[in-house]
Structure 1
Amino acid sequence: MHPTSSQLTAVVFDWAGTIIDFGSCAPMGAFVRLFEQFGVQISIAEARGPMGMAKWDHIQALGRLPRIAAQWQARHGRPFTDADADHLYDVFTPMNAAVVPDHAGFIPGALATVDALRARGLKIGSTTGYNRPIMEVVTPIAARGGYVPDNLVCAGDLAAGRPSPLMMYRTFADLGVWPPHTVVKVDDTGVGLEEGRHAGTWAVGLAISGNANGLTLAEWQALDEAQQQARRQAATAALQAAGAHYVIDSVAELLPVIDDIQARLLRGERPEGQSVQPT
């Protein structure tokens, strides 16, 4: 494909909070129980903070938070180390894998959106902060439900995960798509959006279905309109700060955004803001 192409080639989705698991709930209880097992209390809000990172990086980031680090020092008589992160990660993986089937339902509209994108000739890529052992549980469940993306790149597959662009680079190679401005990254986390931006793609943030909101579908629907709008505004601001070109509630609202991005490409616009001559 010519490097000045003005036609979209692919959409790359995150998994939890984007395609499955409204609220991105599967990892949260596992992180809380993990640290409890080692005598340290963490909150759901703290657990959500580094969401989207590779899970080892996530554990390390939690262990470095001052409140958590102080508890670790008091409980274990020494600072939290990378060796501790290694040990907790080994405990976490089967713990998380055990709960993901309970949170593997599709986000409303996800399958219809993917089908519509495929009908337009777009390839469907996927990257995730989950590692391979966890995704070996998730992908068969998703496949039985009708979702089989054209590739999968997991945390731990490459030398660095999010927010580096390496998983996106692998996705470009897997799908055979380029240049990056013909690709759209869709994610519910800041580091997932940064992954796309660093790779040179368009970035679409999801304010309600994922980690930025952090509520199940039932919890979200139970809020009144004012409460919903307040949470939407807070999540939108956080995702925009991470570099989102667009922020929508969920993938159910993605198609008009894809139309707009395609129109912008034809006008010569690019994700980084520069203008080029249309081809």
Structure 2
Amino acid sequence: MIKLIACDMAGTTIDEHGDVYVALARCVEETGVATTPEAVQEWMGADKAEAIAALITRGGGVATPEIVQAAFLRFKELLADFYEQNPPVALDGVEDAFRELRSRGVKIALTTGFSRDVAESLLARLGWGLAGSGKGPDDGIRLDAVVCSDDVAAGRPAPHMIHRAMELAGVADVREVLAAGDTTNDLKAAINAGVTAVGVLTGKLGREELAAQPHHHILVGVKDLPALLG
């Protein structure tokens, strides 16, 4: 029986209109190297500072700590501007799915390659908050844990964020956990964590691309999780 669902944020539960892709590519290109959509996609779901360093190196640049930090700050600046101009929204059916799952006693966690400051700003825009925190409107989505890449030693595909979500939610058995995401790094992290790995088609990747990775299920979206567990 699944007791905890750990979902990725951008592209899985939240529609941020692909702005994270644009911000990531632009902050890297502003260091003087080129990127490709394929290279950026490869690092979706990963810790953004790690992604920036890898993309700079791949483009032939030198990813010194100072350059990476400056690019990471620029990434957050760009993303904040994009979100101000075009606010993110919950993906279709996600909030209803979360409410249904919580009514069944299933705990809900979010894991993300965003840093804590970016994630909290994004959640505040949506009115989602931690259960018992008192933040957000009374009718907003309540979460049992939110784990960011800067909360752990390494981001995806390492399993640490999922295991940290289990710790925070009080779930000890990986057989009782399902992790859902829209990228190959999401699926790799779920497999590495030993939990049920679910790919969703609400991001940039299609069924064939996700299915090429080890997984347990491919769904149209998080909205289908209640039926999967029904």
Q: Which residue of 2 aligns with 1:99?
A: 82
Q: Quick one: which amino acid aligns to residue 199 of structure 1?
A: A
Distance 1:198 1:103, change over 3 A: farther
Provide the secondary structure at the position in 2 that maps to 1:97.
helix
Superposed counterparts of 1:65-84, under 5 Å: 65=58, 68-69=59-60, 72=61, 79-84=62-67
Which whole-Å deviations, capped at 9, do the CAs of 1:64-108 have from their partners, x for residues lacking one? 32xx21xx4xxxxxx444442232112222222332352411111
Q: Which residue of 1 aligns with 2:132?
A: none
Q: Which residue of 1 aligns with 2:195?
A: 201
Unaligned residue ranges in structure 1 (runs of 5+): 1-6, 73-78, 213-234, 260-279
- Structure with bigger strand share is 2
1:162 corresponds, among 145, 156, 159, to 156
Give, in whole Å, the separation in 1 of the partners of 2:80 and 2:144.
Answer: 23
Q: Quick one: which amino acid aligns to residue 39 of structure 1?
A: G
2:46 corresponds, among 48, 53, 63, to 53
Q: Quick one: which amino acid aligns to residue 210 of structure 1?
A: G
Which whole-Å deviations, capped at 9, do the CAs of 1:153-172 have from their partners, x for residues lacking one? 00111111111111111111
1:13 aligned onto 2:11: no
1:90 aligned onto 2:90: no
Task: Please report how far the alpha carbon of residue 115 of structure 1 lies from its aligned counterpart in structure 2 after TM superposition.
Answer: 1.0
Q: Which residue of 2 aligns with 1:29?
A: 22
Q: Which residue of 1 aligns with 2:92?
A: 108
Give, in whole Å, the separation in 2 of the partners of 1:28 and 1:248.
Answer: 22
Give, in whole Å, the separation in 1 of the partners of 2:54 and 2:75.
Answer: 15
CA contact (8 A) 1:54 1:155 kept: yes
Task: Please report how far the alpha carbon of residue 203 of structure 1 lies from its aligned counterpart in structure 2 after TM superposition.
Answer: 0.8
Task: Please report how far the alpha carbon of residue 50 of structure 1 lies from its aligned counterpart in structure 2 after TM superposition.
Answer: 0.8
- Structure with bigger helix share is 1
Q: Which residue of 1 aligns with 2:131?
A: none
Provide the secondary structure at the position in 2 that maps to 1:177.
coil
CA contact (8 A) 1:142 1:148 kept: no
Give, in whole Å, the separation in 1 of the partners of 2:69 and 2:227.
Answer: 43
Bigger Rg, which one: 1
Give, in whole Å, the separation in 1 of the partners of 2:5 and 2:110.
Answer: 8
RMSD: 2.0
1:142 corresponds, among 113, 122, 126, to 126
Which whole-Å deviations, capped at 9, do the CAs of 1:21-76 have from their partners, x for residues lacking one? 166x12112123213433334343432221000001111221232xx21xx4xxxx
Aligned residues: 219
Give, in whole Å, the separation in 2 of the partners of 1:82 and 1:237.
Answer: 37
* TM-score, with length taken from structure 2: 0.87
Provide the secondary structure at the position in 1 that maps to 2:109.
strand
Provide the secondary structure at the position in 2 that maps to 1:205.
strand
Provide the secondary structure at the position in 2 that maps to 1:152.
strand
Give, in whole Å, the separation in 2 of the partners of 1:249 and 1:119.
Answer: 22
Unaligned residue ranges in structure 2 (runs of 5+): 128-136
Which whole-Å deviations, capped at 9, do the CAs of 1:152-202 have from their partners, x for residues lacking one? 000111111111111111111110012011111011111112222211110
Provide the secondary structure at the position in 2 that maps to 1:156.
helix
Distance 1:151 1:12, change over 3 A: same
Q: Which residue of 2 aligns with 1:241?
A: 212
1:122 corresponds, among 106, 130, 133, to 106
Question: Percent same amino acid at aligned positions?
Answer: 28
Give, in whole Å, the separation in 1 of the partners of 2:63 and 2:53.
Answer: 8
Give, in whole Å, the separation in 1 of the partners of 2:32 and 2:193.
Answer: 39
Distance 1:82 1:240, change over 3 A: farther
Q: Which residue of 2 aligns with 1:210?
A: 203
